Structures are given as structure tokens and as C-alpha cells.
Amino acid sequence: MLNGDLCYANRDVDRVRTWNNFFTDNTRSARFRPWMPAAGNHEIESGNGPIGLEAFQTYFELPSTETDEELRNLWYAFTAGSVRVIVLQNDEVALQDGGDYYIHGYSGGRQLALLEKELRKARASRDIDWIVVAMHQVMISSSDANGADIGLRQAYGPLFDKYQVDLVVCGHEHNYERSLPVRGVVSGTETLTPNPVSTRTDIVDTSKGTVYMVLGGGGVSGTTNGSFFKDGTGKVITAVTPNPGGGHTSTYVKEQAVWIGVRDLDHPYGFAAFDVDPGRHRGDTTTMTVTYYNVNKPHGDLSVFERFTLHRRRSDG
């Protein structure tokens, strides 16, 4: 799973070459396994289709059920074993202005309707134990970089809570961070601060709370692992104001980041692996073991930064 900003083609003069280099770099892996991407803000290219995402929409053939040509391949879902993965395109609901165009609200609610339909169906299924959402912009961040986005918290938070989403994986921030399990919001917070339901970071019952992961160590040079706030706070974008000459001015509000779980302050690059044990019988406990690997400079050797386990009861109990 690639959580957006795949190759930054929108920042290059020769965008086709940049995309070709991306696929050349990845072909040793992609020829043996599917690579399932989410579109991020740097996939929004000026002059490339009605909302700037036509390159992404053309390069990838994804299991999209969207019938509108303008919206095809931007959100979709697939099943691997007992895991249902729902992939979203966050620029529609995120407030932050990050691509060549500002494309907030472009589907008229169609993406949110599909999200709730998928969540309802997955949680009601006796064949699906785990619900994982993959997307680009973040709902949690304690980094002084992009910050969390209240647009995502408003649109997605109630749905993720209602249908007990187990895991949300994002990109956007160029660092690694994960939350404590959270459910609902801290009462009275302007930023809709996610409410932690446990302080454990080694073993998590995801039927009680959702874990959010920022997996932003894919390889870009502008890393942000040195930008974490050291005082237990985070920042959240709460409004955008259009500028007369183009672009937007963002308003940020600080919050007490009571949801902070684990952060990697020392290493910029890495990836996560997810191993699911379905259990042995109906109603058994199923586990998902998550291992986060550092990709170390200068030669790319791997080391384990952390390993933790999510668990919940099987849905066929």
C-alpha cells in the first residue's frame, strides 16, 4: 500500500519521465505483487484532466466501482484474507491546500457515501474481521510540518468510530508516528482531539479504539522526523482563506496531543509490514502484528524500530 505522493511528478518539468522513473524503480517488487496506491496532493497536476488527477487515474487500474469517468480509480476497496482495505482520496475533504489545484469538495459527497457503504458492509460481514483505511493526509500529527486536518476529523471521525475501524494508515508527513487507540473526541476541544481509550502501545484491542499510523518514510528528501513538537502538543489546520493572487492561507490551532503513542525521532525512512493470524476456530481471537522497519542510510540496510500487536474477536463467533 502506497499512501499518496508517489513521485512528485507535479513538481517536475518532465512529468512523464518522473512517472517512468517511479515505475522503473519499483518494478522489481511490483512484478511479483500488486501495488495499491492512494492519490495524494502531489498527484494533482495542472492541466492533467478536469481535477488534475488524470495521470494517476490512467497509470493504475484499480478496483473502482465509480461510474463517473472524472472520479474513476480515486477511491476503491479490496479484500485480502479477512482484511477489508478501503482506499480514499483525501483532498476532497481535507482543508489543506497542497496540489496544483485546490479540489476540495469535488465529488459532491459521493466518496463519503461509498465510504459509509463499505464500512457498514464490512463490519456486518462474517467473513471480514479487520477494516483498514488507507489515505494520504493525516488525522493525527505531532509534527510541525503539515499538521493534522480538522476537515478529515469532521468527515471521517464519526464513521470510523461508528464502524470500529481497526487501523488507518496515512502518508503526508515525512516521518513515522502512531497513535494510541482512540475512540470519539476529547470533550470541548476546538480541534476535535481524538480521545485515547488506552495507554498501552504493545498490545491493542481495536474493538475499543482505532490506531492511526503515519507512514511517511517512503523516500522523499524533505524529511520531517526532526520537526516533532517536544512539549506533547500538535497543530491542526482548522480553516483556509483564499488569497486574491491564488492559493490559500491556513489557520492552525495547537492541541494537547493526548493521543501520542510512538514516534521515530531519529530515522527518516522506513516501512511497515502487517502479518494477520486469523485464529483457529469460529469466534477465536485474530491478531495483526505490525513491524515497522527503518531503512538506514547510506546503504539501505533494515533494522526493526518497533513491533506491536492488534487484536479483536473474529466476526464469525
pLDDT (tens place) for every residue of the chain, 317 residues total: 999 999 999 999 999 999 999 999 999 999 999 999 999 999 999 999 999 999 999 999 999 999 999 999 999 999 999 999 999 999 999 999 888 989 999 999 999 999 999 999 999 999 999 999 999 999 999 999 999 999 999 999 999 999 999 999 999 999 999 999 999 999 999 999 999 999 999 999 999 999 999 999 998 889 999 999 999 999 999 999 988 887 889 999 999 999 999 999 999 999 999 999 999 999 999 999 999 999 998 899 999 999 999 999 999 99
Contacts of 67 (CB under 8 A, 6+ apart): none
Residue-level pLDDT at 66 = 93
Listed residue (21, 34, 8, 181) closest to 98, CA to CA: 8
Beta bridge partners of 242: 248
What is the per-residue DSSP string for the chain?
-EES--S-GGG-SSHHHHHHHHHHHHHHHHTTS---EE--GGG--TTSSTTS-HHHHHH--------SGGGTTSSEEEEETTEEEEE--GGGT-----SSS--TTTTTTHHHHHHHHHHHHHHH-SS--EEEEE-SS-S---BSSS-EEHHHHHHHHHHHHHTT--EEEE-SSSSEEEEPPEEEE-TT-TT-PEEES---SSEEETTT-BEEEEE--SS-SS--TT-B-SSSEEEEEEEEEE-TTSSEEEEEEEEE-TTEEEE-SS---EEEEEEEE--SSTT-EEEEEEEEEEEETTTTEEEEEEEEEEEEE-TT-
Residue-level pLDDT at 284 = 98
Of the CA atoms within 13 Å of residue 85, those in its CB half-sphere come to 20
Instruction: Output the CA angle 289-291-295, nearest 5 degrees.
Output: 165
Q: Residue type for 297, please?
A: K
Pairing mode, if any, of strands 37-38 and 2-3? Answer: parallel
Dihedral sign from CA coordinates of 203, 129, 276, 180: negative
Residue-level pLDDT at 99 = 86
Listed residue (180, 179, 165) closest to 132, CA to CA: 165
pTM of the model: 0.97
Residue-level pLDDT at 130 = 98
Residue-level pLDDT at 269 = 96
**Cβ pair 255, 234 in contact under 8 A:** yes
- How far is it, in rounded angstroms, from Cα 150 to Cα 244? 24
Instruction: Extract the C-alpha cell encoding 227.
Output: 520537526
